[in-house]
Amino acid sequence: MSDDAKIALDTLTDRAAGLVNPSVRLGVTGLSRAGKTVFISSLVHNLLNGGRLPVFEPVRSGRVSKIRLEPQPDDAVPRFQYEDHITALVRDRIWPDSTRAISQLRITLDYESASGWNRMFSPGRLSIDIVDYPGEWLLDLPLLSQDYRTFSAQTVARARSGIRRELSAEWLALCETAPPQAEADEGRTRALAEAFTRYLRACRTDERSLSTLPPGRFLMPGDLEGSPALTFAPLPDLPDGRPASGSLHAMMERRYEAYKTHVVKPFFREHFARLDRQIVLVDALQAINRGPEALLDLESALADVMGCFQPGTNSFLSSFLTRRIDKVLIAATKADHLHHESHDRLERITARIVARAMERIGGSGAGVEVMALASVRATREATVNHDGHPLPVIVGTPIAGERINGELFDGERKTAIFPGDLPRDPDSLFRQMDEEPGQHVPEVNFVRFRPPHIQETGGGLKLSVPHIRLDRAMQFLFGDRLA
């Protein structure tokens, strides 16, 4: 009740402020290495510098007269360092560091409404408060409805299956030497927590690309590193009934509840519950390339993600006390790693993953959109002659150290590669995976490219950044608020 009251008060305060300065809070998150920082940097830079945005109707029609950055409304939240990130992308041609904590940026658009009636009553100004946070934090929200026993049972069952079995061997072996009813011991507890953290990190590596990895702060502890709230681990085969006082089980359970109280609940109350729109970036290509288990794990993670949202609209009165995310965009990133002929296939496969995830949680998918995009287009398309036949390829500069067909690249030389084909029918892909779990899905030649070379103007970084469907994402996420 206390949390609900605080959420209602925050919502009422935000709504009152919105009467004077209309705003929309856009949550931007994504699963591991999906490109959240790149997405925000490219979106802001293209808005500020007249980027090519033909699908974003307010800009295309010329109704937007001025766009500017303004101080963010939440002084206690770090600012998203847009200037540093865009410099890394454009001037240094390196990908910026991934999101490690929450940050925020406000961009304000002055516009003329398309409706004469609205022009009479609307100030013609909209502030977009972009809230950037790690996807691992989002995957923590389902823990709020799970007790320690449920959390342990689900986590251990997952760790004992598939490729996770090998990765979790050290932690599960250590659990066998530490029965739940044993006396609580700080050294043993820390050893279990460290082994469990190593298991989660091993799951997240590029070689595995698994997505369902709560608790998220174990992977990015920040200033909580070493705290009791982050020094616990799931225990297998917990006995029925309440744990004995002073036991290892009791200590782990208490610290799990502390994690929910001091880490998960504040994030939900202070940030997530205040969002109006949300985009979730996923690296579906990487999951496809890593095989059926990574793809099914992505589906499981998206089921948890979609269970966190409540897509839909509020009534006029209820909107002042409760907030509901009325639009959710699931975006498959790195579309520039495929020829455009496969973009719709990537979109259909991602849409099928989302549909299967929604089926798991009994959701309808209302208010959810799926698209394939590239926040920064790092490649261009070309055609080469292969055995007398035209072959569609992509051309880009692989990052230093990338190896293709045994050839090592230095980060300066360009190359052309055939990226591979995705199946036309996504249902055939999933039928094959469901019926033959060991069957590998079609491979994509996944190469990490440097950001493109963009010439600077005399006044600095003023040129727009090339992209794929970034304008379509803008139109879905907040185009209606500029109508």
Greatest Cα pair distance, the chain, in angstroms, is 76
| pTM for the full predicted model | 0.89
How far apart CA 407 and CA 401 sit, in angstroms, is 10
CA angle 311, 316, 321 (to 5 degrees): 75
Fold of 2-133+271-377+466-482: Rossmann fold (3.40.50)
How far apart CA 100 and CA 122 sit, in angstroms, is 38
What pLDDT is attached to residue 32?
A: 75
Give, for all 483 residues of the chain, the pLDDT tens digit.
Answer: 555 555 555 555 555 455 458 999 999 999 878 899 999 999 999 999 999 999 999 999 999 999 999 999 999 999 999 999 999 998 899 999 887 889 999 999 999 987 655 555 566 999 999 999 999 899 999 999 999 999 999 999 999 999 999 999 999 999 999 999 999 999 999 999 999 999 999 999 888 888 888 999 999 888 888 899 999 999 999 998 999 999 999 999 999 999 999 999 999 999 999 999 999 999 999 888 888 888 889 999 999 888 888 554 443 333 334 567 889 999 999 999 999 989 999 999 999 999 988 888 777 666 899 999 999 999 999 998 888 888 889 999 999 999 888 889 999 999 999 988 888 888 877 776 666 655 555 566 778 999 998 866 555 555 679 999 999 999 999 999 998
What pLDDT is attached to residue 287?
A: 87
What pLDDT is attached to residue 150?
A: 96
Range list for CATH 3.40.50.300 in the chain:
2-133+271-377+466-482
What pLDDT is attached to residue 319?
A: 39
pLDDT digits (tens, 9 = 90+) for 93-142: 999 988 788 999 999 999 998 765 555 556 699 999 999 999 989 999 99
Q: Which of 138, 164, 421 shows the shortest CA–CA distance to 281?
A: 138
